[in-house]
Chains A and B, each alone.
Chain A
Amino acid sequence: MNNKLLEVKDVFKTFDRVVHALKGVSIEARENEIVGVVGENGAGKSTLMKILVGVYSPDKGEMYHKGRRVPFPRNPKDASRRGISIVYQENGVIPWLKVYQFLFLGYEDKYIKFMTLQMDRMKEQACEILEELHVACNVEAFMHELPLSTQKMIEIARAILGVRLESEDSETTPIIILDEPTSPLTDDERKELFKDLLKMKRNASFIFISHIIPEIMEFTDRVHVLRDGNLVAQYDLSREKMTEEDLFRAIVGRKSSEYISRSEDREALGEEVALSAKNLSKSGHFYDISFDLHKGTCIGFFGPAGSGKSQIIRTIAGLMSYDAGDLKAGDQELKADELPHVRLKRGIGYFSGETGKELFLNWSIAKNISIINMEKILGKVIPVIHFSAEKKMAENIVQKLEIKSPSVGTDCYSLSGGNKQKVSVGKWLERNPDILLLDDPTIGIDVGAREDIYEVLLEMKKNGISMILVSDEPKEYFILCDRIMFVMDGRVQKVLGPEEFRKVMST
């Protein structure tokens, strides 16, 4: 069918001698196609792309361009000379530039005559290029006036233009890497973007990185699946029949041996309903979500990134509002526009595994724990902080969770990742909310520390705290949840028990 345009073979990359980001990955891009690269966070996608554009150099590996062996690019400039360029996820656009100014940003020297910029020629050429690439817009408009999808298309056009201006071989087809281009876009904008992208295929090849399975299924010609630094599968979507779930399973892997059975910990579902949602919807994110969260149980929302699972938990936390439906905690209604502090008063806490978000790194452990437990350390008559109570409270938590630190006065930034996480979880243990929302509770920490966090969370659940989990780690659902709701495209597809979930994930 198509000729191979770019191929890399057996690429290895190790950081700091211990982190094996890539363990012999091979991928290829053919002429005039969109090839998808998918994988979980940390699968090695970004590292591979950075090698392709010369940001990193690989430890080992081979690169072929049109079947001829070539060295890896040394830097992004070198890469674009070979015809490879990248459009990053965010921050690529300069809002207060006009379209043609942005398009030629950095290439103005080609349009300078007698030290003045030839605006008219730039505008003319910009029109020509955008027309050729099927991007419809006014070159005199400011970037920020355009819809996000058009902004993205102009960024892509700029990347193609860059390759043309820099490349040694004017005949070459540009290879444009798109790093999760659709994540800031709404559904409609996504569709627009893909419509344009399919037209642009005639002028370039695209390597398309995404988390969002439906768009990969619909718009790419072939797809490479990376997991833990290996290429685990590749499919030719034009020939093979696949479902979204097949692809999803390939991405998360069959890690059935890792599932630790926790069934002995489980008790019958409590009668009392701690939180209930009825037809909860937020247009563009999730639709008709209904569930009853019983006291002392845990519900997980499981699905690929972009499925709407994070938006569901953020809505319950009060970080987003919902459009329609009912949300109730016990008998109190949770209004759509309530902020997190109101939700907390109603007994709903939000725990994010991202320590940068959750912790005050320049503060001591004691302060980080007391911040959400102020009431416990304030004087009854005069609301004055009792520092001895604060210290005692923190010492108690440090001891219970075995946080390794010289004292409770130690600043949090000096702690290891696992210990930081324990401090975050510890403050919620002390707070003892009715409902705890877990948003990727163990992201970025090692296996041992994870186990410790699970212990604490299970203990809290046993003591009657209800939980809702969203995570990128399938194992976590099995350990923590009593019910798992499978979310795809913002809708609950099915509800599984942990055992069923394990079976689905391991077949």
Chain B
Amino acid sequence: MHPVIIVFLALLLIFGIIYPGRFFSAINFKAILRQFVTLTLFALGPTFVVVTGRLDLSYIGVWMLGGVLVWLFKPILGMLSIIMIPITGIATGLFIGVVQTKAKIPSFILTLSLLVTYTGLTALLAGGYPRAVDGYEFITTSLIPLIPTAFLLSIPIITAAVFLMKCTRICVYLNAIGSNEEGARLAGINVDKYKILAFLLSGVFTGIGAIILFQHLGGSAQVQLKLDSIVWPLVAIVLGGTPLTGGSGGPQRTLLGAITFTIFYRGLYLSSLHPTMVTLLVGIVLIVSIIVSARGLKGVTVT
């Protein structure tokens, strides 16, 4: 069994014992699902990139810039302006992929600078204030009690990501590039094409996910970059078992990481710990999971 599953079950057990009434309550259940969806939809796309041994930090930027573009284009395009989010995602993914591959710039620094640029651009376009956009409330209208609609909507997205990564050759080629790029080239893989594809998939999944997240996180264009929203999806990816060095893992692992991290976070949330303490612990979890994944876990099969 994957060690993270054990961690997951252990956390469930521990928090269940400490807060018997509150942890297994309907409210907490709903909160867990809500947070799980947020994390997953942000982390799903970048996972494709991390598998190749690279990093894509642009997801929050796509969500922010996409949101403000929706606000900006609403008077012109009407309801259709929501497509600005996936367009931003796809364009971003393609741009990063081509620049990273052809100009051979480290992806970390490239996507980080792009994120900063997007934040600036978002604030500029929005005039410095968050802007509420009405009319998309239907996306998250409650359908089934207790289960957030965003969660239901994310199911096909998650399925598509896992399908791509489990059942098609994309999985093999992206893993090959992360595991041994030279070997992948020798095996006759068009390495550059698949590297660009990884970033493009990241953009596509982030773009589509961000439509849901746009409404899920309040239905407004945000102008503030929060560190937590950058770091948490990364924690979900690494904790799930996709090492930052690439070569194994994938979206299915990210799901595992996202749910485990959510449980961990909700448990701390219910405790009387100060919020700064929670941030500290999140940092420690990230460090530990990076070390564990870098050193490799015996018995973790490559998906």
Contacts and interface: CB of A to CB of B under 8 A. Distances in A.
Interface stretch (A40-48, A377-385, A469-477): A377-385
A352 interface: yes
Most chain B CB within 10 A, of A352, A360, A361, A384, is at A360
A363 B168 contact: no
A371 B183 CA distance: 10
B182 A385 contact: no
B17 to A, nearest CB: 38
Interface string B175-213: 110011011011111110000000000000000000000
Contacts, number: 70
A357 B182 contact: yes
B302 A385 contact: no
A384 to B, nearest CB: 5
B169 interface: yes
Nearest to A390: B172
Contacts of B187: 358, 371-372
Interface residues of B, number: 23
Contact of B190 (A341, A352, A359, A372): A341
B168 to A, nearest CB: 6
A359 B169 contact: no
A360 to B, nearest CB: 5
Contact of A362 (B167, B168, B169, B302): B302
B97 interface: no
Contact of B186 (A340, A367, A370, A374): A340
Interface stretch (A19-27, A50-58, A301-309, A343-351): A343-351
Contacts of B296: 362
A350 B188 CA distance: 9
Contacts of B175: 360, 363
B219 interface: no
B248 interface: yes
B186 A363 contact: no
B183 A359 contact: yes
B247 interface: yes
A339 B186 CA distance: 9
A364 to B, nearest CB: 7
Contacts of B302: 362-364, 367, 411
B188 A362 contact: no
A43 B180 CA distance: 29
22 contacts: A339-B185, A339-B190, A343-B188, A344-B188, A357-B186, A358-B186, A360-B176, A360-B179, A360-B247, A361-B179, A362-B247, A362-B248, A362-B296, A367-B302, A371-B176, A371-B189, A374-B169, A378-B169, A385-B167, A385-B169, A385-B172, A409-B301
Interface of B: 167-169, 171-172, 175-176, 179-180, 182-183, 185-191, 247-248, 296, 301-302
Interface of A: 317, 319, 339-341, 343-345, 349-350, 352, 356-364, 367, 370-372, 374, 378, 383-385, 409, 411
